[in-house]
Structure 1
Amino acid sequence: MPPDLPGHTPPAAIVSPVFVGRTAELTAARGLIERAEKGESGVMLVCGEAGVGKTRLVDEAVRHARGRQLQVLSGHCVQLGIEGLPFAPVVEALRELVRTTGRERLEEILGPARDLVARLLPVAAAPETETAPPATAQLLELVLGLLERLSESAPVLVVIEDLHWADRSTLELAAFLARNLRGVPVAILITYRSDEVDRRHPLRVLLATWERTRSISRLELGRLDRDEVRAQLSAILGAVPDPKLLDLVYERSEGNAFLVEEMLSAVRAGDPRGLPPSLKDVLLARVDRLGEPAVQLLRLAAVAGRSVPERLLVAVCEVDELSALAAIREAVDAHLLVVDSAGHGYTFRHALARDAVYDDLLPGERVRLHAAYAEALTRDPGLLDETNVSVAASLAHHAYAALDLPRALEASIAAGRESFSAMASREALAQYERALLIWDRVPAELRPPEVDQAEVLWLAGEAAYHGGNVDRALALLTESAAALPADATPERRARVLHRCARAHRDLGHLGTAIELLESALAPLPDEPVTWMRATVLAALSVAHLRELHPRRAARYAELAVAAARSVDAAQVEAEAQISLGSCRMLLGPGADGLAAMRAGLELALASGDAHTTARGYINLSDACETLGRSTEAAEVAEAGIAFAQRSGLLRSVGAYLVGNLAESLVHLGDWARARMLIDDALADGPEGVFELTLQLIGAELAALAGDLERSRTMLERAQVLTIGPDDDQFALPLVTLEAELARAGRDHARAVRIVLDNLNRDDRSPRYAWPLLWVGVRAEVERALADPAGTIAERLGSLVATMPATDAPTQGYRALCEAELGRLGGTADWDDACAAWRKLGWAWPLGYSLLRQAEAQAERREPARESAVEAWTIAGRLGAGPLLSEVQALARRAGIDLDEQSRPADPLAALGLTAREQEVLRLVATGRSNPQIARELFISPKTASVHVSNILGKLGLTSRVQAAALLHRLGC
């Protein structure tokens, strides 16, 4: 801020030193803060017309929060022309966090988000490795985790101002936080101008969603009434206003707080009867009363935007520094500019003042002044140091507005690269698309020499893909391929075709993807091997694997591994090793497949590639489960979930890992934990295939437990999400559930029909086909035992005899089916089935096999009690209602006394807590906080909070200390 100038007289006050009115609104805002103090999250939207007092209300709320020792993070959305500055409020808030937090504490808070913050805010710390920017979903989770860690020491108030100016990435982040900040002491206050949000505004859709969300409250600020205007004027004047002055100001301002101040200023400056007719005229009249240097300076400041750094403003002035500072002082004294919060520049006291000055500029004046900024930034990019504004984005904006298209082209490309690196893919796409728009209008000799149009199209396609717009990415990348010059190298052509293939693959066009990859590979030389060749080979392996051609996929994977090793491409080798392991599993399960997957996972971890690492955990845990190694599969899945949580992937690929873990837990018999994991993960709102995985496991578990209504509901949701009829991993479990629900509803004929209709091909995956076949066999046997006429057991028996069973689980299903069919002829032998499932440790199939074994023993008048009691114990422990009922019915028919079976006493069992509540109680006793419990059990903080409250209520306790003491007394 410039020093006081000689002869300077302090200006008369224009802003009320007293907060006027808004009693109910301020109470509501304070209530949001006080709920955060109690450990509850909440979101409040503060809206209203420009100038009505939104910021003043938020300032009062922030003052209240700081007085109650809350941590406050605040940031403003910044408009740069028609574009919002990417992640502007996040960057502003992080700057303050870094500036005010000690290094050790900062490292603890940043945690997994350290590289994220380094990308957004390079002064925080440089990334340890140069890696591709995280995808948008990953970034959102990392920010969420940062807030959760920050809130562990004290509640947090997050303020986001002017959301109507937000870029799309910031809007997505705001929506994500509002949806997912549950059970943590974080309050969010958001302001926006309601008069700016028309039906085409990008914020409109988000607001419509929030209106249906009960946890989000909305404060609509109206105008001040006459008494409140009187109080505002009294505070400014230091005395009760003259009634005529009050009448005039209230009538002309209509109670808008900013207009009250401006009208009072206009009245002070001249004849009240000559008061201009509109706010714009009032503001311009005040500007016109300044000296010409100050007027010119305000026009320059308006061209910069709502705020401008002092060094930049002085640099674009056409006067010496001392004269420029004098003009700035005049504008500050007139209450048109104020010093910004960082003390490095100036902000218009209100955006309306800036808009009035900017709108009054003639077109030629705007072009000239924007050109002045472009020239100044080109000469000295350091003029924007210590601000949140990108030099490239600012230069692109000013150059484009100044019709300096060559400079705008170069700056737009640079701004696109910056935005992409800072994870603002949507904004990167907007910059690249502006570059493409003006490309043909810039003479060839003035275009940036390091890029051509095909390269800009490729960059735009990458930005669109990472921003989640795969269709747009494909269109841009296809254009890029067509625009490649005739002399483009095979490497460059392969790079574009590889990205086109990736988009086609994601859209389900596997055949087209393979054709493009083969076209990319053909001109690449075998020697010397290049990174691009290794990458294309790895992609071909993945595509053929997705098409269930494991031999072709394995061949490409082996070539990719060798190529990647020769060029030291660890990430590519990791991808190829994981694919190779999957291929070997499909070709014949064994140690080789698992070994390749583990090698790939280790490489992915070492390379720092989060998505390849997550894929490694997913495939390895799934492979272990395929082999029946469920305990090992669960351990791998849990390690993967912990990695996903650290990497910001828990709500995307992490949900897939939760599904894998839940499947293993279902087999191992820990149904309570599996159910809790599924419910918690679904509450986080996963999408697409990630939700589908959870719905499938949840529906299966509900059916086994006898909750057929829940199973049907989850099955119906899964059917909506299903990918396609040829993907056995999802298609066959879907029809297996459909058949099982038909069987459970005693529609045996329909169940068998579903099975036969879906096992009419030889290429079905045995892992998923055997459970479906067993449902059909069971349904047909149940039907035939009731009515032997018209049985088709022979057809099902033929499938049992011919379907491959090369691993322990499929062999267990074959033993189940053979024993089940033996029931029809009275030759059922369940010994093999019992032995198979006992060895695997799969609880429910063992319980069912023991039930049938006891039934067969009873029919042969052999001792059946041991088998029946074990089946009864398993069913009771699982909560498998239908199985339990069948065991009890058999016991009644055979005269078996089940109640004599003794069970080991569990000191916690008598407390009436669920299995999950017992886990939480043990963690409470160790002193864990709710967020720490959430991280350890892979649940949300809100769920952890609910569990703790329920436990204390059930046990009649009032504190965590009492809970810990109880466990100590019980010896747990």
Structure 2
Amino acid sequence: MVSGEAGIGKSRLLAEAGTRMAARGWPVLDVHADRLERRVLYAALVAALRAVRVDSTYTEGLRREAVAALDLAVPAAFGQACGAVTRLFTALAATGPLAITVDDLHELDDDSLALLAVVLRRLSSAPIGLVVALRPHLAAPNAAAEEMLDRLADEVEVVRVELGTLSPEELAAVIAPVLGAEPDKDLVAEVHRRADGNPFFAAEIARSLAESGLLAVEAGHAHLTVAPQAVRLTRRNAVLRRVVPLADQARAFDDLVRAHVVTADAPDGYRFFHDIVADALYDEIGPAECRRLHRMIAERLLADRARGEAVDPLELAWHVSESAVPGDPVAVSVLTEAAHRALTGAPEAAANFCARALSLLHDDADERPGLLALRCRALARASRPADAVGPGRTALDLLPPGEDRFRTATAVISSLFLLGRVDEAIAVVDGQIAAGPAPATLHAQRAVMLVFAGRTAEARDEARVAAAAVPASPAEDVVVCGQLAMLTSMLGRHAETIEFADRALRASGTSTTLQLQALAVCASTEALAGLVSEATWRLRRAEQLAEETGTAHAFPGELGLTRVVLDYLGGRWDGALEGLRTVAAELETREQATLAAALTAVELEIRTWRGELVLAARLAARPAPTMRNMADLHAHAVAGYLAASGDVPAAVRVLRDALTDPSTAPYGCLLLARLIELAPDPALLSTLVEIASPRVSPWSKTTLHRTVGVARADRASLVAAVNSAEAGGLVFERARAQLALGELAGDAAPGLIEAYRTFARLGAHGLRRRAGRRLHELGEKVPRSRSRASGLLTESEERVARLVQQGMRNREIATALHYSPRSIEVYLSRIYAKLRVSSRLELARALDAMDAVS
């Protein structure tokens, strides 16, 4: 990290570093940030990606994929963009180190900074060198840049280089080429004093003195021809004095080129020679002149539109936004129109247009309630629930009864739900229903909120009201059915869950947005209920629809969560952990606490079954979620971790605390089954049979049959568990049932062998060893414990390799596996030799390829 004041030589240092790294054969991603491009999402990063050298058609394809993901410029596509850029960086660093240079990091847009932070942390073990330059002590510091550097400092080694000013002797070498002669000591001292030792300003001052005729060269040395106090030249004037308007604009531009103020950048373009020139020019113009220029452009565009000419409303809105004055009705109208147009494709921009329009209105303006409502809905669409609540609640206080008010209420309630603030959501919906006749949407939302609050009887009554109401539109029907699918899933009525999910899709008609909403919301609901077949179908249909219509950015949280849960239930644990990284970053950015809690529970289960208890401990220590279903999943996973750690009493306490009312607990079957495993109790088993028997979810049926089979030594129940799991696509649950059956019956060796292989593939080696011991007892041949890595690695070596694949560093792996860092180095040397790889990145790629084949 190179820091220093403007003109001190940061850019020159980065350019030289990039040149030298390129000479070594490194691909160099050269990012140049500036104040103007910061207004455009990913602009500087995309320009750098397009210019970086690639060495294969495969990498070129990844480059196009990354640029396309960034060109979406939609905040909801953040996770997709992170994944695409990660794949590109991985490919670029596959054959040798990758260098990334970022000049003026503080001028990079916030989305690019967030993306680089996520991607570079994922690739912290890859051979990537990052060199950034930034100015310290800014008047308006870039918090996102500082956060990025802080995050990286936690993962990688950061070397800080502070560039100071030059001495008079060093400065003499800088200005000598400008003057064409060696400066004498007095001239050097004067330039050094005026430039404060800054090389850029020193060169500009020297050039200005020479052009002003204030220097003479005698005997090969340059000196001042006037007294120093007669020179009226400051650092800023030295930069700007050559930007003098001339009568002939063409001659003026030629003068600027000759003076190196602007320089050719492309066959048809020019740029300022240095960012300092641009900054000085804009500072000299001042905000008032900027507003005047924006106003001139806005007025011309408005006149063009009045004559019937085509005008881009978003471009018009930008100029209006920069130049409007409070109370301007035309500006408010233009910004409102732009917000409506941007609502679907660019909700962040729509929210910003609304905010600007609101800043132009007085507190009692008639347009204010509608703009607040629109801003709330835009922020909700942009997955910014925390920001959506404030303007939405204010709008609800101001809006008259009607569709706009109900749509705003729906957005506020959904946002509060995602934030885990269920009681507040209930208060909002109660207030809206009390104010007069309410649409079916609000009744459906209220029903869901009530069941999350534990008021199950009221929730059932409210659900009947919602189901009996006639939706006013297809959009309302989709929302109502999605909410009722969620409600019935919470109540264990999974046949109705599937029915409402199908109805939501039928109601969506031909609308792509409604179809994606119906598919995404219901797929995540079904996945969390263990309805693997149904959720898989909806996920595939949503992905196909998104690809066909170019809306891959839609509903990233719901669809990402669905993929992770289905990979977990379907026995693709490595895929689940890989997906967790991207989806977790997306949900963290969007503050979607409810969905994020499900990811934590899934990862905690996988880490516990794999015996990675150090990693599991960090997950178990996270605060318990407030949402009832997520709290149940969290308790189930934490109890499993505590039991695996040897603290069975604590695990039992966690489960009992979560089972205050087993009949209404959303995951009561899972909680009871785990409690019975740890503390067998016939009464608890009877309760499990009572609440699980009516449920049709394969996950519930498998859990019931396996638990009953083990507790009662009932072969038929265990066979039913195996069959239910197989029919439901529950790979891990099927292996657990096969293990239980094999431990009970002497003739179930084929299923036991299959379970052994499943546990080995998943990395659940504790269960694999149990299956192996039972096969020994039965006199059966135990399958060789072949590593998934082509059968070459031992169990310990594979565990180390898999943690490397997940991006962990040696000391983290040592902590997780209770080894010394030196032991990890020895293991890695053996792994590299066996798999014929030479780096951590090559190892990860080799394991990825083997996983794909398996």
Give me the TM-score of the superposition, normalised by structure 1.
0.64
Q: 2:835 aligns with which of 942, 955, 959?
A: 955
Q: Corresponding residue for 1:314?
A: none
Contact kept, 8 Å, 1:913 with 1:951, in 2: the verdict is: no
Where in structure 2 are the equivalents of 1:275-354 lying within 5 Å? 275=228, 281-284=234-237, 295=244, 323-335=248-260, 337-339=261-263, 341=265, 349-353=273-277
Where in structure 2 are the equivalents of 1:508-587 lying within 5 Å? 508-510=420-422, 512-514=424-426, 516-517=428-429, 543=449, 551=460, 555=464, 558=467, 563-565=472-474, 569=475, 573-583=477-487
2:568 is the counterpart of 1:663: yes
The aligned amino acid for 2:391 is L
Q: Corresponding residue for 1:935?
A: none
Q: Give the Cα–Cα distance (whole angstroms) in 1 for the partners of residues 466 and 581 of structure 2.
A: 34
Quick one: structure 1 residues 903 and 382, their matched pair in 2 at CA, closer, same or farther if it must change by over 3 Å?
A: farther
Contact kept, 8 Å, 2:539 with 2:559, in 1: the verdict is: no
Q: Give the Cα–Cα distance (whole angstroms) in 1 for the partners of residues 255 and 266 of structure 2.
A: 20
* Cα drift, residue 524 of structure 1: 9.1
Describe the SS at the equivalent of 1:341.
strand
Could you report, residue by residue, the CA deviation over 1:702-759 in whole angstroms, capped at 9, with x for unpaired residues? 4445555554443223xx2x322x61x3323333344445655676665555444433
Where in structure 2 are the equivalents of 1:824-863 lying within 5 Å? 828-841=713-726
Describe the SS at the equivalent of 2:134.
strand
Q: Corresponding residue for 1:138?
A: 77
Q: Give the Cα–Cα distance (whole angstroms) in 2 for the partners of residues 471 and 284 of structure 1.
A: 47
Quick one: structure 1 residues 217 and 619, their matched pair in 2 at CA, closer, same or farther if it must change by over 3 Å?
A: farther
Quick one: structure 1 residues 702 and 413, their matched pair in 2 at CA, closer, same or farther if it must change by over 3 Å?
A: closer
Q: Corresponding residue for 1:257?
A: 199
Q: Corresponding residue for 1:229?
A: 171
Could you report, residue by residue, the CA deviation over 1:445-496 in whole angstroms, capped at 9, with x for unpaired residues? xx9xxx7122332344345545665444322222223344xxx572233233
Contact kept, 8 Å, 1:148 with 1:184, in 2: the verdict is: no
Q: Corresponding residue for 2:388?
A: 473
* Cα drift, residue 264 of structure 1: 0.7
Quick one: structure 1 residues 346 and 850, their matched pair in 2 at CA, closer, same or farther if it must change by over 3 Å?
A: closer
Q: Corresponding residue for 2:7?
A: 51
2:73 is the counterpart of 1:192: no
Q: Which has the larger radius of gyration?
A: 1
The aligned amino acid for 2:525 is N
Q: Give the Cα–Cα distance (whole angstroms) in 2 for the partners of residues 358 and 164 of structure 1.
A: 17
2:531 is the counterpart of 1:607: no
Quick one: structure 1 residues 903 and 50, their matched pair in 2 at CA, closer, same or farther if it must change by over 3 Å?
A: closer
Q: Corresponding residue for 2:362?
A: 440
Could you report, residue by residue, the CA deviation over 1:834-883 in whole angstroms, capped at 9, with x for unpaired residues? 34334533676666667766776xxxxxxx64347854763465155555
Q: Corresponding residue for 1:936?
A: none
Quick one: structure 1 residues 467 and 235, their matched pair in 2 at CA, closer, same or farther if it must change by over 3 Å?
A: farther
2:416 is the counterpart of 1:504: yes
Could you report, residue by residue, the CA deviation over 1:330-353 in whole angstroms, capped at 9, with x for unpaired residues? 455555x41563687876544545
Where in structure 2 are the equivalents of 1:51-130 lying within 5 Å? 51-60=7-16, 74=31, 76-78=33-35, 85-87=39-41, 89-90=43-44, 93=47, 117=71
- Deviating more after overlay: 231-240 vs 746-755: 746-755
* Cα drift, residue 208 of structure 1: 3.3
Structure 2: unaligned runs, 5 residues or longer: 215-223, 305-309, 803-826
2:370 is the counterpart of 1:455: yes
Could you report, residue by residue, the CA deviation over 1:295-343 in whole angstroms, capped at 9, with x for unpaired residues? 468xxxxxxxxxxxxxxxxxxxxxxxx63444444455555x4156368
Q: Corresponding residue for 1:619?
A: 525
Contact kept, 8 Å, 1:805 with 1:811, in 2: the verdict is: yes
Q: Corresponding residue for 2:604?
A: 699
Could you report, residue by residue, the CA deviation over 1:658-689 in whole angstroms, capped at 9, with x for unpaired residues? 44124313xxxx4xx41563266248754344
Q: Give the Cα–Cα distance (whole angstroms) in 1 for the partners of residues 334 and 230 of structure 2.
A: 42
* Cα drift, residue 582 of structure 1: 4.5
Contact kept, 8 Å, 2:295 with 2:324, in 1: the verdict is: yes
The aligned amino acid for 1:836 is A
Q: Give the Cα–Cα distance (whole angstroms) in 2 for the partners of residues 876 and 163 of structure 1.
A: 50
Structure 1: unaligned runs, 5 residues or longer: 1-44, 121-133, 298-321, 527-532, 782-792, 823-827, 857-863, 922-946
The aligned amino acid for 1:830 is R
Quick one: structure 1 residues 86 and 332, their matched pair in 2 at CA, closer, same or farther if it must change by over 3 Å?
A: same
Could you report, residue by residue, the CA deviation over 1:268-298 in whole angstroms, capped at 9, with x for unpaired residues? 125435557999724436756x7xxx6468x
The aligned amino acid for 1:338 is V
- Deviating more after overlay: 555-564 vs 500-509: 555-564
Q: Corresponding residue for 1:674?
A: 573
Contact kept, 8 Å, 1:749 with 1:780, in 2: the verdict is: no
The aligned amino acid for 2:520 is A
The aligned amino acid for 1:874 is A
* Cα drift, residue 164 of structure 1: 2.8
Q: 1:594 aligns with which of 498, 502, 506?
A: 498
Contact kept, 8 Å, 2:340 with 2:350, in 1: the verdict is: yes
Quick one: structure 1 residues 281 and 631, their matched pair in 2 at CA, closer, same or farther if it must change by over 3 Å?
A: same
Quick one: structure 1 residues 886 and 74, their matched pair in 2 at CA, closer, same or farther if it must change by over 3 Å?
A: closer
Q: Give the Cα–Cα distance (whole angstroms) in 2 for the partners of residues 393 and 249 of structure 1.
A: 43
Q: Give the Cα–Cα distance (whole angstroms) in 2 for the partners of residues 542 and 278 of structure 1.
A: 77
Contact kept, 8 Å, 1:65 with 1:72, in 2: the verdict is: no
2:104 is the counterpart of 1:162: yes
Q: Give the Cα–Cα distance (whole angstroms) in 2 for the partners of residues 95 and 847 of structure 1.
A: 46
Q: Corresponding residue for 2:806?
A: none
Contact kept, 8 Å, 1:869 with 1:898, in 2: the verdict is: no
Q: Corresponding residue for 1:14?
A: none
Give me the TM-score of the superposition, normalised by structure 2.
0.71
Q: Give the Cα–Cα distance (whole angstroms) in 2 for the partners of residues 87 and 902 of structure 1.
A: 54
Q: Corresponding residue for 1:799?
A: 687
* Cα drift, residue 261 of structure 1: 1.0
Q: Give the Cα–Cα distance (whole angstroms) in 2 for the partners of residues 95 and 738 of structure 1.
A: 43
Q: 1:723 aligns with which of 617, 621, 625?
A: 625
Q: Give the Cα–Cα distance (whole angstroms) in 1 for the partners of residues 275 and 788 of structure 2.
A: 66
- Deviating more after overlay: 452-461 vs 206-215: 206-215
* Cα drift, residue 607 of structure 1: 0.8
Contact kept, 8 Å, 2:32 with 2:102, in 1: the verdict is: yes
Q: Corresponding residue for 2:300?
A: 379
